[in-house]
C-alpha cells in the first residue's frame, strides 16, 4: 500500500502538470498523511535540511564554470583545436564534435551547457560542409551527454549526496566509461558518415596545429588541474568546483579577454537560476527520501526483488531497464533524487559496489537526456541549432543505441568500470 501511495501521488501530481519539485512535496505530504504523522513543521524542516549540504555547493560553481566557458571563448578554442587535429579525416567534423565534447565535458559537467555550445559552434559548420542536418544534430546531442559522466559531473555530485557515496571516487570511476561512450560514438559516426559524399578539408600543417594548441592551452589545462587535484587529494569535489569557476573567469577576463565585466551579472544570474531549480528539486526530494526510509519502502522493494539478489548481474539489468523507462519521461536530476533512496538499499543487499552502480546509474540517466519525448538535451539542440524536434529525434537513434549498448556491456562486464576506476583512485 505504501508503494502505491508513493507512486500514485507522484504520478498523479505530474499528470496534472504540477512541476516535479512541487509533485515531490505533495508526494511527501501524502506519505505523511498515510503514516498518520502529518506535520507541516517536519515537512519544512526536511526541505531546509535537504539543501543544507556542503558537497552541493559544487553545483552552482560548476554551473558558473559552464556559463563562463561558453561566453569566455574556451569552448570555441577547444573546437578549433579539435578541428586542426581530426578535421581532415573523412567525416572529420563529426570526430571534431566528439573530441571537443570530451574536452568540454571535463570543464563544465553539464550536458545542457555542452549541447548549447556544440550546437551553436558545430552544427552550422557540419551542415555547410554537406553533412545531413538531422544526423549531425543527433551526434551533437549524443556527444553532449558525456558531460555528466566525465568529471567534474553535477550528476555525480547529486547522486553522491543522495546515496552517501564518495563523490571523488565517483568522479575517478567516470573517466574510463566516458571515454568508452565517446569511442562508441566515434565508431557509429564512422559507420553512418562513410556513405556521405562530403568534401574533406586539407590537413592542417604542424604549425597550424601548434598554433591552435597554444591558443587553447589555458582551456585544456583546466581538466588536468581538476582531475590531478582530485586524484592526489589536493582539494575536495566542492573545492574543485570553485577552482574551475575562478580559473575559467580569470582566463576569460585576463588571458583571452573575451569576457567583459559588464557580462558577469548576466552569467551569475543564469547560473543562479539554474542552480535554484536543481537545489529546490534536491530539497523537495529529501522530504520523500526521509519518508521512504521511515515507511520502510526500500525493505518492501527488496522483498519483491528477493529472487534476483543472488544474481547481481540480473538485478543490475532489471534496475537499468527500470531507469531507462523512467528516463524517457523524467529529467536527470529528479530521476536521481527519486530512485536513489529506493534502489541503494537493494544495491547494498545484493553486495553490488555502490560506486559501480552509481556510474551506471548516471550513464543511464545521462542517456535519458536524449531519449524522446522529454529529452532535455534534444530540446536544447533543437532550440539552439534551429532544427525541428522530429529531425533531432530521427538523427539521434543510432548514437543512442550505441551508448545503451556500451552501458549494457558494463552491466555484463563490471570490470570495464572497476578496473580503470581502481587505477584512477
The DSSP call for residue 55 is G
pLDDT at 71: 82
pLDDT at 297: 64
DSSP symbols for 371-390 = STTT-HHHHHHHHHHT--HH
For residue 152, tell me if it sits in a domain: yes
Which of 273 and 409 is assigned the larger pLDDT?
409
Encode pLDDT of 361-387 as tens digits. 999 999 988 887 667 788 788 888 888
For residue 10, tell me if it sits in a domain: no
Cβ pair 384, 290 in contact under 8 A: no
198 exposure class (CB count in 10 Å sphere: 0-12, 13-18, 19+):
middle
Check pLDDT > 90 for residue 233: no
pLDDT at 290: 72
260 CB neighbour count, 10 Å cutoff: 11
Helices vs strands, H then E, count in the chain: 20, 0
Cβ pair 110, 154 in contact under 8 A: yes
Encode pLDDT of 174-187 as tens digits. 999 999 999 999 99
pLDDT at 293: 67
What the block records as the C-alpha cell of 155 is: 550528476
Check pLDDT > 90 for residue 208: no
Alpha-carbon radius of gyration of the chain: 22
Residue 19 CA to residue 327 CA, distance in Å, equals: 16
Looking at the structure of the chain, the number of domains it has is: 1
For residue 185, tell me if it sits in a domain: yes
pLDDT at 2: 64
pLDDT at 309: 75
- pLDDT band with cut points at 50, 70 and 90 for residue 3: low
The DSSP call for residue 409 is H
- pLDDT band with cut points at 50, 70 and 90 for residue 410: very high
For residue 12, tell me if it sits in a domain: no
- pLDDT band with cut points at 50, 70 and 90 for residue 414: very high
For residue 284, tell me if it sits in a domain: no
pLDDT at 79: 81
Task: Give the number of C-alpha atoms closer than 13 A to the C-alpha of residue 210, restricted to the C-beta side.
Answer: 3
pLDDT at 364: 94
For residue 242, tell me if it sits in a domain: yes
Least confident interval from 62-76, 256-270, 315-329: 62-76
Check pLDDT > 90 for residue 404: yes
Average pLDDT over residues 113-142: 85
Check pLDDT > 90 for residue 400: yes
Encode pLDDT of 297-330 as tens digits. 666 666 667 777 778 889 899 889 988 888 876 7
Cβ pair 110, 62 in contact under 8 A: yes
Check pLDDT > 90 for residue 408: yes
pTM over 0.75: yes
29 exposure class (CB count in 10 Å sphere: 0-12, 13-18, 19+):
middle
For residue 269, tell me if it sits in a domain: yes
Residues of the chain above pLDDT 70, percent: 93
pLDDT at 374: 65
pLDDT at 72: 83
Encode pLDDT of 72-113 as tens digits. 888 788 888 888 887 777 777 888 889 888 888 877 777 887
Task: Note down the domain range covering 65.
Answer: 53-277+303-424
Check pLDDT > 90 for residue 358: yes
pLDDT at 114: 82
What the block records as the C-alpha cell of 283 is: 530539497
Q: Return mean pLDDT, the chain.
A: 83
Least confident interval from 72-81, 141-150, 197-206: 197-206
Which of 120 and 199 is assigned the larger pLDDT?
120
For 346, the 3-state DSSP assignment is helix
For residue 150, tell me if it sits in a domain: yes
Amino acid at each position: 500500500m505504501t508503494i502505491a501511495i508513493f507512486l500514485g501521488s507522484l504520478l498523479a501530481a505530474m499528470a496534472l502538470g504540477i512541476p516535479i519539485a512541487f509533485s515531490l512535496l505533495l508526494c511527501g505530504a501524502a506519505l505523511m498523511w498515510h503514516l498518520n504523522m502529518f506535520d507541516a513543521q517536519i515537512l519544512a524542516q526536511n526541505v531546509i535540511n535537504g539543501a543544507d549540504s556542503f558537497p552541493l555547493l559544487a553545483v552552482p560553481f560548476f554551473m558558473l564554470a559552464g556559463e563562463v566557458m561558453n561566453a569566455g571563448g574556451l569552448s570555441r578554442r577547444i573546437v578549433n583545436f579539435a578541428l586542426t587535429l581530426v578535421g581532415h579525416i573523412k567525416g572529420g567534423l563529426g570526430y571534431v564534435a566528439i573530441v571537443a565534447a570530451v574536452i568540454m565535458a571535463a570543464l563544465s559537467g553539464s550536458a545542457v551547457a555542452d549541447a548549447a555550445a556544440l550546437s551553436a559552434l558545430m552544427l552550422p559548420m557540419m551542415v555547410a560542409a554537406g553533412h545531413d542536418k538531422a544526423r549531425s544534430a543527433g551526434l551533437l546531442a549524443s556527444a553532449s551527454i558525456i558531460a555528466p559522466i566525465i568529471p567534474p559531473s553535477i550528476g555525480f555530485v547529486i547522486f553522491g549526496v543522495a546515496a552517501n557515496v564518495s563523490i571523488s571516487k565517483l568522479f575517478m570511476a567516470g573517466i574510463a566509461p566516458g571515454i568508452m561512450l565517446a569511442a562508441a560514438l566515434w565508431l557509429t559516426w564512422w559507420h553512418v558518415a562513410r556513405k556521405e559524399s562530403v568534401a574533406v578539408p586539407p590537413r592542417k600543417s604542424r604549425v597550424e596545429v601548434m598554433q591552435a594548441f597554444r591558443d587553447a592551452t589555458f582551456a585544456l589545462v583546466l581538466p588536468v588541474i581538476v582531475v590531478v587535484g582530485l586524484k592526489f587529494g589536493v582539494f575536495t569535489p566542492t573545492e574543485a568546483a570553485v577552482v574551475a569557476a575562478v580559473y575559467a573567469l580569470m582566463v576569460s577576463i585576463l588571458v583571452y579577454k573575451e569576457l567583459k565585466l559588464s557580462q558577469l551579472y548576466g552569467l551569475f544570474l543564469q547560473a543562479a537560476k539554474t542552480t535554484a531549480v536543481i537545489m529546490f528539486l534536491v530539497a523537495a526530494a529529501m522530504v520523500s527520501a526521509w519518508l521512504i526510509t521511515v515507511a520502510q519502502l526500500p525493505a518492501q522493494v527488496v522483498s519483491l526483488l528477493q529472487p534476483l539478489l543472488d544474481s547481481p548481474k540480473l538485478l543490475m539489468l532489471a534496475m537499468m531497464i527500470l531507469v531507462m523507462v523512467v528516463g524517457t519521461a523524467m529529467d536527470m536530476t529528479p530521476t536521481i533524487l527519486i530512485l536513489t533512496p529506493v534502489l541503494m538499499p537493494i544495491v547494498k543487499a545484493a553486495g553490488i559496489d555502490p560506486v559501480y552502480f552509481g556510474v551506471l546509474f548516471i550513464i543511464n540517466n545521462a542517456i535519458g537526456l536524449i531519449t524522446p519525448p522529454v529529452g532535455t538535451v534534444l530540446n536544447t539542440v533543437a532550440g539552439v541549432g534551429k532544427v525541428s524536434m522530429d529531425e533531432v529525434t530521427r538523427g539521434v537513434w543510432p548514437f543512442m543505441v550505441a551508448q545503451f549498448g556500451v552501458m549494457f556491456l558494463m552491466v555484463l562486464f563490471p570490470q570495464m568500470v572497476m578496473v580503470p576506476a581502481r587505477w584512477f583512485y
